[in-house]
Structure 1
Amino acid sequence: MTVQPRMTNLFEQLGLDSSEDAIALFIVTHQLNAQTKITEADYWTESQRQFLAEKIKSDGSWALVVDQLNESLHEDSLIKSK
């Protein structure tokens, strides 16, 4: 059985709380500046960083979910740059 790539599944794969509230809280409390790539954030473990990098490179359906998380983590910097 293949896991359907969704934000909740991504958080499960990263070993994080995958409840909607926990995901929303993570996104609000882990905002990145515009220059920081998602894989360069200092709060990931090495295995989480590798997982994210692999999924981005795979360019499959997981890449879309990681990209969605990336955009969410950069929301504050996008607002400030407008």
Structure 2
Amino acid sequence: MDTSGHHNLNDLFAQLGLPSEDAAVDEFLARHHLQGDEKLAKAPFWSDVQREFLQEAIQDDSDWCEAVDELDTLLRH
């Protein structure tokens, strides 16, 4: 696990075990969306490990939380 400070969206995708190239990130964002007040970590497209990581990033206010917040926002557009 990377714990080295500021992380961008591509870093987050790599950390989640997803393809992290710009085109792959764009494709993921085009195919997945959050509805209304649906919580990011509760979305059905995450594995249990990914879900746990996302929950902990926010709960612990870790150095990943900015990238996780960005992902949450992008999935709502």
- TM-score w.r.t. the length of structure 1 is 0.83
Number of positions where the alignment pairs a residue of Structure 1 with one of Structure 2 = 75
Larger CA deviation: 63-72 vs 52-61: 52-61
The structure carrying a bigger helix percent of its residues is 1
- Structure 1 residue runs of 4+, over 3 Å off? none
For residue 21 of structure 1, the aligned residue among 15, 20, 23 is 23
- Which residue of structure 1 lines up, in the alignment, with residue 33 of structure 2? 31
Q: What's the counterpart of residue 48 of structure 1?
A: 50
- Once superposed, what is the RMSD of the aligned Cα atoms? 1.5
Q: Which residue of structure 2 aligns with residue 80 of structure 1? A: none
Q: Once the 2 structures are TM-superposed, how far is the Cα of residue 61 of structure 1 from its aligned partner?
A: 3.0
Q: 2:76: which partner in 1? A: 74
After TM superposition, give the deviation of residue 3 of structure 1 in Å: 5.7
8 Å contact from structure 2 (residues 14, 20) kept in 1: yes
Letter of the structure 2 residue corresponding to residue 26 of structure 1: F
Identity among equivalent positions (%) equals 35
Under a length normalisation based on structure 2, what TM-score does the superposition of the two structures give?
Answer: 0.88
Consecutive unaligned residues of structure 1, counting only runs of 5 or more, are: 76-82
Residue deviations 1:9-56 (CA, integer Å, cap 9, x gap): 100010000000110110111011112110110010000000000111
